[in-house]
Amino acid sequence: MNLRAKFTLYVSFLLLIVIVAVSYNIFTTQKKFLTQQISENRTKAFQSFVSMCNEAIKVKDDNQVDNAVKLLVSTYKPSVVYAGYINSDNLVMFSSRDEDRNIDSVLKTRIKKTNKDYIETYSSLTSEQICEFATPFFFNGENVGTFVVGFSQDIMKKQIDDAISMMLSKIKTVVIVAMIFGILLAYFLGYSFTKPIKMLTNAAEQITKGNLDVEIKVNRKDEIGKLSTTFNNMAKQIKELDSMKDSFVSSVSHELRSPLSAIDGYCDLLIECVDKNYSKEQELKGLKIIKQATVRLTNFINNILDLAKMKANKLEVKFVSADVGPLIEEIVSLYQPLATQQKKRIYAEINGNIPKVNIDVEKIKQVITNLVSNAMKFTKENGSVGVKAFPNSGGYGNEYIEIWVQDDGVGIPKQQVDLVFQKFYQVQAGEFKRPKGTGLGLTIVFEMIKLHKGYVWAESDLGKGTTFKFVLPK
Is 85's pLDDT higher than 90?
yes
**Tens digits of residue pLDDT in 364-386:** 999 999 999 889 988 988 999 99
What residues have CB less than 8 Å from 190, skipping those under 6 apart?
3, 4, 5, 7, 8, 11
DSSP label at residue 381: T
Q: Which helix (H) or strand (E) holds 323?
A: none
Higher pLDDT among residues 47 and 300, named by residue: 47
pLDDT at 251: 66
Full set of structural domains in the chain with CATH: 3-159 (3.30.450.20), 243-311 (1.10.287.130), 320-473 (3.30.565.10)
**How far, in Å, CA of 96 to CA of 111, rounded?**
12
Higher pLDDT among residues 345 and 434, named by residue: 345
**Average pLDDT score over residue span 385-394:** 94
**How far, in Å, CA of 183 to CA of 12, rounded?**
6
C-alpha separations of 230 from 192, 206, 217, 224, 464 in Å: 19, 17, 12, 10, 36
> Quick check: 19 and 178 in contact, CB under 8 A?
yes
**Tens digits of residue pLDDT in 182-222:** 888 888 877 777 777 787 788 878 877 777 777 777 777 77
Question: Exposure string (b/e) for 383-402, b if CB count within 10 Å is 16 or more?
Answer: bbbbbbbbebbeeeeeebbb
C-alpha separations of 111 from 52, 100, 101, 158 in Å: 18, 17, 16, 26
Is 432's pLDDT higher than 70?
no
**How far, in Å, CA of 224 to CA of 201, rounded?**
13
C-alpha separations of 203 from 146, 217, 235, 236 in Å: 91, 11, 9, 12
Side chain identity, residue 384: S
Lowest-pLDDT choice from 40-44, 78-82, 424-428: 424-428
Question: What angle is formed at CA 75 by the lines to CA 70 and CA 81, rounded to 5 degrees?
Answer: 70
pLDDT at 3: 67
Is 446's pLDDT higher than 60?
yes
> Exposed (0-12), middle (13-18) or buried (19+): which is 340, by Cβ within 10 Å?
exposed
> Quick check: 439 and 252 in contact, CB under 8 A?
no
Is 362's pLDDT higher than 70?
yes
Q: What is the mean pLDDT of the chain?
A: 85
pLDDT at 437: 55
The pTM assigned to this predicted structure is 0.50
SS3 260: helix
SS3 133: strand
* Residues linked to residue 383 through DSSP beta bridges, in sequence order: none
**Average pLDDT score over residue span 146-158:** 93
pLDDT at 290: 87
Q: How confident is the model at residue 247 (pLDDT cuts 50, 70, 90)?
A: low
pLDDT at 282: 78
Q: How confident is the model at residue 471 (pLDDT cuts 50, 70, 90)?
A: very high
Q: How confident is the model at residue 62 (pLDDT cuts 50, 70, 90)?
A: confident
